Structure 1
Amino acid sequence: MSAMDPIPFEPVGADFAGWPMPVSVPSGLALELSRARLLDGREASFDAWMETLHERYDECLATLPGEQMAFEATFLNREADGSWWMYHLQVRGVDSPGLQLDNDLDRTHQAFAIATKHRGWEELQPRLFLASAQVRDAMIAAARPPSQPEG
């Protein structure tokens, strides 16, 4: 690998309200792709984090309704400068509270994040949401607050 300047990591501030949603995102949903640089030498910690989430998959699924989370996927990429970055794709309700630290799984999840990646996220700008009617409707239902009936 050739020597090059490191790719800068410039997370959004805590006051970032999110990008405006393109017209293709159904009302009530937010489409997000976020990325964060791993701390140097923390690739094994990232692998352990993902292994933990796989081992506790049913617990992960149980947290989704309270977080108004319809879909999540996490990726790892080694960039041209040799740094490792994680990417996180999610479709959630616009009023999602995010991680709920009242349970052991989310506290474990947060501890791995602190130990593995730089603080914060860069937020990529969404431009298109495309899903079949069945998938779209399922995501809308999954992202609805638990107390809100189907309308």
Structure 2
Amino acid sequence: MNIELTRFRVLPGKSAAVDEWMDLLNDNLPAVLKTLDDEKMYVETIFSETLDGIDYLYWYSIQGEGGTEVQDSNHEIDKAHLKFWKECIDPDFPPQDLQTRVSMIPDRIRSSMK
């Protein structure tokens, strides 16, 4: 099981496109959830933050081993997701992985993630 929290910088002027992207995901949640099985993604949450006038998106995920990469997905919602990614995420800003210090997942939940 892999637990991650990663920060990505949004390109300047792309806040409206990010809002559209998040609306697309929220408005199509049943289709989004179908993609998670292929990815062996147990939890995926996106957070946003603005620091010193710069927008960031944070991805928190708990993922099993051997899942399909989103880039290899045949789901239309994933294709739209990748389109927004290319439009909105700054490729010159290396993703910032935050360090996991403690993971508190009860055994009854953890065992269902296998």
By the TM > 0.5 criterion, same fold? yes
Corresponding residue of 1:122: 96
Secondary structure of 1:111's counterpart equals: helix
Scaled by the length of structure 2, the TM-score of the pair is: 0.88
Aligned length: 111
Scaled by the length of structure 1, the TM-score of the pair is: 0.68
Corresponding residue of 1:92: 63
User: Which of the residues 28, 39, 50 maps onto 2:11?
Assistant: 39
Corresponding residue of 2:28: 56
Q: Distance in 1 between matches of 2:39 and 2:89?
A: 22
User: Which of the residues 53, 61, 78 maps onto 1:82?
Assistant: 53
The answer for unaligned runs of 5 or more in structure 1 is: 1-28, 142-151
Deviations 1:20-43 (A, max 9, x none): xxxxxxxxx000111100000111
Per the TM alignment, residue 123 of structure 1 is displaced from its structure 2 partner at its CA by 1.5
Secondary structure of 2:32's counterpart equals: helix
Secondary structure of 2:22's counterpart equals: helix
Between Structure 1 and Structure 2, which shows a larger proportion of strand residues? 2
The answer for unaligned runs of 5 or more in structure 2 is: none
Per the TM alignment, residue 137 of structure 1 is displaced from its structure 2 partner at its CA by 2.6
Residue type of the partner of 2:90? Answer: H
Per the TM alignment, residue 65 of structure 1 is displaced from its structure 2 partner at its CA by 1.0
CA-based RMSD: 1.4
Q: Distance in 1 between matches of 2:54 and 2:107?
A: 39
Runs of 4+ in 1 over 4 A off after TM superposition: none
